[in-house]
């Protein structure tokens, strides 16, 4: 895995380096995190980035038994857990066919229509291998098939091999991880960035930048900046890390869902790209604490920050585990809006990201012992 990770990093490092005076450290961080391969259960390259950047900012770093990173900052005050997950949607190699194609076990909530006709990278034992997912050729498909969904079990990976021996020679075997091939791009100078894995590398970036700012300014808490694993296959890392942290307050930082692209219905999402950070009032896994919601609204207003409110079906996040494990804690899910999640390429807005960092930093500074005690008081 180490050899393939190093080789992949070298292969993906094709962007032009800007002069030092023009370097945008935040954009570089977003690019590095988005481009890193890390499907559920194979988060090593992302964990390496997170740990290297957390070390000089943390009092100590621990890991749960699944590989989540728990970086503590501060030694007294309320225990505030701020979590973002490192894993992305991807897959693993299931088997090789006699004629050299591969089948995939998908990891996470893919739409079937997002899988066919795409480029992928397989992390094999000899390094990264480029692949293309098959699609029914339009010249062969009868008219009645052309508008139909291609099911995932009808999609194969093509690595150019002609037989199973050719696949093995490339260093590919069952169980090898697969990620989308979709490098980061600054989208035409619009302030929007396109790339893979914004769910939830955007949250990982918020953790790192907020951690740096809070280290410099100070805060009244013990903050546990937690980069979790295996969120996309059942919130598993958050469950394990919450049992270690035992938070007084839990905050998940996620990639949100926008309703501003073509085909979305008004009741599906009210969030727009470029409209500022978002706050979930409901999702399928968790209801936020109402006092914490009120504090976030007041904090955003006081700081002059926009705040978008949303309710989304079919969505789960790490706050659900922080909310219930070990006796429970008041939690909330804050989101950086993202278009096109759970597909090869999504889009985020830089200002939304910067404003989310501002909101998280301002919120943490307000969570002193008295405020946390009031939020946790359920006395009638």
Six-digit token pair at 121? 């990278």
Helices 44-54, 198-217: crossing angle, 10 deg rounding: 10
Asked if 157 and 131 count as a contact pair (C-beta separation under 8 A), the reply is yes
For residue 369, give the 3-state DSSP assignment. Answer: helix
Q: Which of 231, 267, 272, 374 is catalytic?
A: 231
231 annotated active-site = yes
Strand order in the sheet with 278-283: 60-63, 69-73, 222-228, 79-85, 249-255, 331-336, 278-283, 308-312
Angstrom distances, CA of residue 160 to CA of 163, 167, 202, 361: 9, 8, 34, 49
Q: SS3 sequence, 182-209? A: CCCEECCCCCEEEECCHHHHHHHHHHHH
Question: Is 321 within any annotated ligand binding site?
Answer: no
Phi (first) and psi of residue 201, to 5 degrees: -65, -25
- Report d(CA 278, CA 273) in Å as an integer: 10
Question: Is 219 within any annotated ligand binding site?
Answer: no
Question: Is 344 within any annotated ligand binding site?
Answer: no
For residue 279, give the 3-state DSSP assignment. Answer: strand
Scan for tokens 């059942």, then name that residue. Answer: 234
Paired strand residues for 249: 80
Question: Is 254 within any annotated ligand binding site?
Answer: yes
Question: Is 342 within any annotated ligand binding site?
Answer: yes
Paired strand residues for 131: 120
Phi (first) and psi of residue 202, to 5 degrees: -65, -40
Binding-site residues: 85, 199, 232, 254, 342
Which active-site residues does the annotation give? 231
Binding-site residues for Zn(2+): 85, 199, 232, 254, 342
């Amino acid at each position: 895995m180490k050899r393939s990770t190093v080789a992949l990093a070298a292969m993906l490092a094709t962007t032009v380096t800007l002069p030092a005076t023009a370097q945008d450290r935040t954009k570089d961080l977003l690019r590095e995190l988005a481009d890193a391969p890390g499907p559920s259960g194979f988060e090593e390259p992302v964990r390496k980035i997170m740990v290297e950047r957390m070390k000089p900012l943390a009092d100590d770093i621990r890991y749960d038994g699944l590989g989540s990173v728990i970086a503590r900052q501060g030694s007294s005050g309320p225990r505030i857990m701020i979590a973002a997950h490192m894993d992305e949607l991807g897959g693993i190699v299931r088997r090789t066919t006699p004629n050299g194609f591969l089948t995939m076990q998908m990891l996470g909530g893919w739409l079937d229509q997002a899988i066919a006709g795409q480029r992928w990278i397989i992390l094999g034992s000899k390094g990264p291998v480029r692949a293309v997912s098959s699609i029914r050729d339009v010249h062969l498909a009868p008219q009645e098939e052309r508008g139909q969904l291609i099911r995932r079990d009808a999609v194969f990976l093509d690595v150019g091999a002609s037989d199973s021996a050719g696949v093995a020679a490339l260093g590919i075997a069952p169980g090898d991880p697969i990620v989308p091939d979709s490098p980061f791009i600054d989208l035409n100078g619009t302030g929007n960035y396109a790339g893979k894995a914004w769910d939830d590398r955007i949250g990982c970036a918020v953790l790192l930048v907020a951690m740096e700012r809070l280290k410099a300014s100070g805060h009244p808490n013990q903050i546990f900046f937690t980069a979790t694993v295996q969120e996309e296959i059942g919130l598993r890392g958050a469950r394990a890390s919450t049992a270690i942290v035992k938070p007084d307050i839990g905050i998940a930082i996620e990639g949100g869902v926008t309703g501003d692209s073509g085909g979305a219905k008004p009741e599906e999402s009210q969030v727009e790209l470029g409209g500022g950070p978002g706050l979930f009032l409901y999702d399928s896994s968790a209801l936020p604490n109402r006092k914490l919601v009120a504090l976030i609204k007041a904090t955003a207003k006081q700081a002059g920050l926009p705040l978008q409110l949303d309710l989304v079906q079919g969505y789960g996040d790490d706050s659900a585990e922080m909310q219930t494990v070990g006796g429970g804690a008041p939690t909330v899910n804050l989101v950086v809006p993202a278009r096109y999640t759970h597909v090869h390429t999504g889009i985020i807005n830089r200002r939304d990201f910067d404003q989310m960092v501002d909101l998280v930093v301002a919120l943490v500074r307000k969570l002193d012992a008295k405020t946390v005690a009031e939020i946790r008081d359920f006395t009638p």
